Structure 1
Amino acid sequence: MEDESHVPHRDGYLSLLDVLDVPNRRITDFTGLTQEYIKQRNYDYYDIARDPYLDSEQTYSVNARDPRQEANAVLSAKKWKLDRLIRELPRTEPVVSQCAHWVTSVAGLHLFPDANHRTAMVTLYALVLDNDIIREDHRWPGTQEEIGKAVLLSKYHRHLSPRLNFDRLWRRDTLYWHWYQYFEHLLHDVDYPALRNHSEGKLRRKLQQVRRKDD
């Protein structure tokens, strides 16, 4: 009879996490992340942009015929889509991959009228804090120039990549690899040449070019 004493068990059950080569630093606690929380964070950006008493540079664009319906449009993201993102985010991949998957999915699916990148980053910040990946004094989400370029590059890659849907949600396309390299830079100080080699002006022009081709 084959000796199974070397197979990891916990309380009589096979422990897959011990069998698999699973990295230690990863997001495992999702208790603080709900679809209501994600919607609220996005709505906050809308609310700040519309508040006449706040001198904010935040913008939020909503394509609603009746201004009275704007708030409903902002909150119209499907509950099942957000729940599925939370439920299916890969649990056994390194934290850099998880971060890249999260921003790629939220921004790529474009679940909200606007501020999808901002919503992805602020909700991801809550996740990495809750999981002790970073501390509150971390420079998240990067300098204004870094995150500005990263979002422009993301929008550029989103236009070049096949349209994201739930059938291909966790595939590694160019949009994913862009964010993977950005989080390698943000979390591990790995150089990301695209941030150095392109000015914001150049990135905006490239984005305008690919958008004109789609029109």
Structure 2
Amino acid sequence: MPDEITGTHSYRDFIDPSAPMYLSDLDILEALQDKTHVTPHRLAQDRFRENVLRLQLRDLERIGAVTQIGLETYQENSYGSRLLRDPPEKHIENDILDVEGISPDAFQADDWRLRDFGSVNAQVIKQLNKEFYEEPGSTYGEVRENEPGLTKQRISNVIDSDIRRLIREFPTTAPLPEACAHWIRAIVGLHLFPDANHRTATNSLEYLVEQSDGPSDRIITPSIPRFVLHSKYTRTFQSDVRYNTLWAKDELFSVWHRYFTHTLCPGLEERRPHDPPTETLDQVLETAREVLNGIEKDASNDSGS
């Protein structure tokens, strides 16, 4: 399958056990035989695609082939051992299990997942961010004051293959609220663009949900500014998003998983009012960022002296 996604896909379509960066499902089950437990990081050994292994383990857990015993921590079970000894001929190819064929009830319908990326690719996402920069009256932080060409260049210089990898390895088997949270966390956490990463993430997500015939009108709601602010705090002080941890379920994921569970599955209780006001907290965050930037500059100057 080509690098560019043109329609519906599964991240599993790209797993090639003959390539040096992947493990098959049976490889994972075999590794579990020799260990008390595994994590994606432990399995990856700095050789294999940790992020893909993370999704494979989740799908194996969905069909009951491994048992989750802690955060990102799994151990073998009797069903997984049986699959390893006697793989189902109708549901396996190149040691990759057809997990949806084995256990169809463990996965949501297509309109409750994100699988169709026909309307969103690297160029679309970059153009969307550029439009936020060029929109009259829009707030967008310049890379350097009075040098608009530099900001546009930084937007254009975002590497297409990085965004394609995000799409190619996306958790296409995850339920919609979880999938939406992963999409926002990835773009926001990687901080692909100089500014407007939250706006780029949420607007592109609207396209994706609409393409999948999902409830796209519930992606951006009146409550989102508060969650964006919470997301900024979490990204600044707690979360560390890298390409090998794109789909980890950390604090930043939790912020957005709660938001999308609330908007897509109404009924989740409100735990506290929006107090202090969002505007006040936004000012506090900007002050904290300025202090942090000053500390980093002082540390850099000290190391260079």
Larger Rg: 2
**Distance of aligned partners of 1:35 and 1:5 in 2 relative to their CA distance in 1, 3 Å threshold:** closer
Alignment of 1:1-215 (within 5 A): 15-20=98-103, 21-24=106-109, 25-49=112-136, 57-64=137-144, 66-134=147-215, 138-143=217-222, 146-191=223-268, 193=270, 196-198=273-275, 199-208=277-286, 210-211=288-289, 214-215=292-293
**Distance of aligned partners of 1:22 and 1:107 in 2 relative to their CA distance in 1, 3 Å threshold:** same
TM-score, L = length of structure 1:
0.81
What do the CA deviations read for 1:68-123 (whole angstroms, capped 9, x no partner)? 33322222211111111111110111011110000001011000011100000010
| Alpha-carbon separation, structure 2, partners of 1:5 and 1:61 | 55
Structure 2 residue ranges without an equivalent (≥5): 1-85, 294-305
Superposition deviation, residue 209 in structure 1: 5.8
| Alpha-carbon separation, structure 2, partners of 1:187 and 1:38 | 23
- Which range moves more in the overlay, 157-166 or 193-202? 193-202
What do the CA deviations read for 1:173-208 (whole angstroms, capped 9, x no partner)? 100000000011111124363673432134325524
Superposition deviation, residue 22 in structure 1: 1.2
Structure 1 residue ranges without an equivalent (≥5): 50-56
Q: What secondary structure, in the 3-state scheme, does the structure 2 residue paired with 1:30 have?
A: coil
How many pairs align? 201
Task: Indicate the residue corresponding to 1:53 in structure 2.
Answer: none
- RMSD across aligned positions (CA): 2.8
**Distance of aligned partners of 1:213 and 1:140 in 2 relative to their CA distance in 1, 3 Å threshold:** same
- The structure whose RCO (Cα within 8 Å, separation 6+) is larger is 1
| Alpha-carbon separation, structure 1, partners of 2:254 and 2:218 | 21
Identity of aligned residues (%): 31
| Alpha-carbon separation, structure 1, partners of 2:134 and 2:290 | 30
